[in-house]
């Protein structure tokens, strides 16, 4: 008797297993709050890929640039936020190359937004009650 591969709502496709393993390998480099923030940024990218019917492991440089434009034009994030989120994507694809999953990173030559050297926020302001 021949059996067919398992399918259904509880079965994860092999592509998803590979993607989860690579995401875990990348996130394993971080601890604490850094891991939480990096995981959040990576999840945003992977969700964007899914919503645009894009396999993240088959993405091209043009796809990554479209993601950057989406962060800038649709989400209207500051350049520093866009740069940080792009750094997460670059790091993820770097791990994919290191692990031999991809021959090269599609994010290698994506242009980063210009980030001013000084923060536009004032930060904490302390008031002194001394005369």
Q: Count H helices, E strands: the chain?
A: 4, 0
Query: Quick check: is 110 in a domain?
Result: no
pLDDT at 42: 96
Structure confidence at residue 1 as a pLDDT band (50, 70, 90): very low
- Residues 95, 30: Cα–Cα separation, whole Å: 13
Contact (CB, 8 A) for 56 and 96 = no
- Using one digit for the tens of pLDDT, what is the confidence trace for 73-85? 999 999 999 999 9
Query: Quick check: is 103 in a domain?
Result: no
Q: Which residues of 69-87 are buried (b: 16+ CB within 10 A; e: fewer)?
A: eebeeeeebbeebbbebbe
Query: Quick check: is 81 in a domain?
Result: yes
- Residues 35, 29: Cα–Cα separation, whole Å: 8
- Residue ranges of the alpha helices (H) in 1-131? 14-27, 32-51, 61-69, 79-98
Say which range, 5-9, 16-20, 56-60, has the weakest mean pLDDT. 5-9
pLDDT at 122: 57
Residue-number span of the structural domain to which 68 is assigned: 14-98
Tally of structural domains, the chain = 1
Query: Quick check: is 42 in a domain?
Result: yes
Query: Quick check: is 63 in a domain?
Result: yes
pLDDT at 2: 46
């Amino acid at each position: 008797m021949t059996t067919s591969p398992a399918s259904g709502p509880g079965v994860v496709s092999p592509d998803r297993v590979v993607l989860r393993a690579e995401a875990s390998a990348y996130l394993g480099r971080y601890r604490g709050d850094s891991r939480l923030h990096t995981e959040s940024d990576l999840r945003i990218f992977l969700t964007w890929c899914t919503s645009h019917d894009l396999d993240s492991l088959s993405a091209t440089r043009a796809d990554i640039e479209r993601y950057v434009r989406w962060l800038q034009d649709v989400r209207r994030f500051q350049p520093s936020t866009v740069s940080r989120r792009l750094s997460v994507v670059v790091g993820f694809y770097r791990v994919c190359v290191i692990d031999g999953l991809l021959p090269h990173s599609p994010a290698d030559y994506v242009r980063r937004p210009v980030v001013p050297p000084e923060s536009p926020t004032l930060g904490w302001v302390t008031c002194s009650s001394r005369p």
